[in-house]
Amino acid sequence: MVACSSDPGDADTNETADTDESSAWVLVTDEPGWSGRLGHASVVFDGRMWVLGGFDSEHLNDVWSSVDGDVWVEETAAAPWGPREQHAALVFGERIWVLGGSRGADGSYGDAWSSPDGVIWTQEAAPSWSARMAHCAVVHQGEMWLYGGLEITGTNTNETWRSDDGMAWTRAGSPTWSSRNGHACVVVGGEVVISGGFTGPGGEFHDVWASTDGETWTERASEPEWEERFDHSMVAHGGEIVLLGGSVQEEGHFRDVWTSGDGGETWHQEADATWSERYGHTSVDFQDLVWVLGGPGNDEVWALDPAAW
């Protein structure tokens, strides 16, 4: 969503969440070294979790990694890709990739950077897609795929772009899902699945779409069991989709957790998380656990063993 660069102190994340002693969630650390932030990106690479950039009281371009979620190492305080939030990151070709993002009042990026180690970064050839933020990206069928987002012109898009090398990008297909930003996407069961998103005031999405080839789409659920939302996270774990948190303008932020074992057609609500309401966080699957990292003004690192549900 465009408004994600607001002061983190304005977000309703400082109140303590109700504690359920039977909760499967564990607070691994609330002192990871990196500042509380939203709009960052996270990946799993080289046996570590990574946190890249984001926004606290300013835009960030630091890079952090951890082998256990507790102790974090600052790999660089200032990556050459410049301070940004609401960018996409993925792992492809044994490299971490950072794609696009926002620099606030200074506009958005339309660039692609890659690194073999999170420290040394190379700016790749300028992509064919326009500068944008709040898009999502995945690796599917041996290619990188980038979906939707808010263009630098202020226009939401549903464009799909693909690349097998990160340098040459080709526009693919004409998606049947509406233009949006702040949506989430994940690959599970050989399909790309997209959920939710934002298109303007009162314009949160409440849908799930799936594609086997990355460009031809089927609406998997038009009204899933969870409420409309944006700036949520999704992660694939053990063949299931896990959807976590997010925001809706009229009702605030969520700390709910939903799972789907049929590619997003039906959803089951798990117990509310122990962590507080949040949006703009990230989630990864690492060491057979689901992890939640950050959120507005929040530097907590939480882990869950879904087997405990």
> What's the pLDDT tens digit per position in 158-199?
999 999 999 999 999 889 999 999 999 999 999 999 999 999
pLDDT of 185 reads: 98
| pLDDT band (50, 70, 90) for residue 309 | confident
Residue type, 140: H
Question: Residue 308: its pLDDT value, please?
Answer: 81
**Alpha carbon of residue 43 to chain centroid:** 9
pLDDT of residue 271: 85
How does pLDDT run across 76-85, given as a tens digit for each residue?
999 999 999 9
Quick one: pLDDT at residue 18?
40
| Domain spans, the chain | 22-308
Q: What is the structure's pLDDT at 157? A: 97
The per-residue pLDDT for 201 is: 80
Average pLDDT score, the chain: 92
**Position 73 confidence tier, pLDDT thresholds 50, 70, 90:** very high
Give 289's pLDDT tier (boundaries 50, 70, 90): very high
Q: What is the pLDDT of residues 35-54, one digit of tens each?
A: 999 999 999 999 999 999 99
Question: 25-29: long-range contacts at Cβ-Cβ below 8 A with a sequence spacing of 24 or more?
Answer: 25/273, 25/274, 25/275, 25/302, 25/303, 25/304, 26/302, 26/303, 26/304, 27/274, 27/275, 27/300, 27/301, 27/302, 28/68, 28/69, 28/70, 28/301, 28/302, 28/303, 29/69, 29/70, 29/300, 29/301
- Name the token pair of 85: 């939030």
279, 231 in Cβ contact below 8 A? yes
Please give the average per-residue pLDDT across 109-120, as a whole number: 98
Residue 21 is predicted with a pLDDT of 41
pLDDT at 306: 86
Summarize pLDDT for 237-269 with one digit per residue, the tens: 999 999 999 999 877 999 999 999 999 999 999
Q: For residue 132, is it left (φ>0), alpha (ψ between -120 and 50) or beta?
A: beta
Write the pLDDT tens digit of every residue in 143-157.
999 999 999 999 999
pLDDT at 229 over 60: yes
Which tokens is 206 given?
A: 């409440």
Q: What is the pTM of this model?
A: 0.92
Percent of the chain whose pLDDT exceeds 70: 93
pLDDT for 1-21, tens place per residue? 433 333 333 333 333 334 344
- Are 306 and 268 in contact by the 8 Å Cβ rule? The answer is no
CATH number of the domain located at residue range(s) 22-308 in this protein = 2.120.10.80
